[in-house]
Amino acid sequence: MNASVVIHWTDVGAASDVPYQGARRVETDLGAVAVFHTVSGEYFAIFDRCPHKNGPLSEGIVHGKAVACPLHNWSISLETGQALGADAGKGCTPVVPLMIEDGRILLGLNS
């Protein structure tokens, strides 16, 4: 028997509202999610809490496909949610499935 997961996509706003090389915090039923817009024009979504001490990643500095946490400067991958560099292996923030459709941000927020 095949087990399949159906993703329920939730529209959380316009992609153009996420600043270039920045982020926007989105409140969801599952918690706050940070949606990032990288310098290369890609979008990523991860929960808005650092795996170190829950710092607000949406207020961090985006560099490449990572964000530097504003509290203690851990670097978190936007692709995997994993801590990078010297803090690799110390923690991970859950990644949220994201797609852009007709200029809208859709998040896969299955509970």
Helix or strand holding residue 33 (H, E): strand 31-37
**Minimum distance from CB of 76 to ligand FES (Å)?**
8
Determine if 72 is a binding residue for ligand FES (CB under 6 A). Answer: yes
Which value, to the nearest 10 degrees, does the dihedral of the CA atoms of residues 84, 85, 89, 94 take? -10
Paired tokens of 29: 């039923």
Q: Residues 75 to 104: which contact ligand FES by CB under 6 A? A: none
What is the CA angle 80-41-14, rounded to 5?
95
Q: Quick count: other Cβ atoms within 10 Å of Cβ 1?
A: 2
Q: Which of 53, 79, 97, 100 binds ligand FES (CB under 6 A)?
A: 53
Question: Which of residues 45, 55, 81, 98 is near ligand FES by CB under 6 A?
Answer: 55
What would the two tokens of residue 63 be? 């560099």
Instruction: For residue 50, state whether it binds ligand FES (rule: CB under 6 A).
Output: yes
Nearest distance from C-beta of residue 51 to ligand FES, angstroms: 7
- 69 contacts ligand FES (rule: CB under 6 A): yes
Q: Around Cβ 72, how many Cβ atoms within 10 Å?
A: 11
Question: Residue numbers of the site for ligand FES (CB under 6 A)?
Answer: 50, 52-53, 55, 69, 71-72, 74
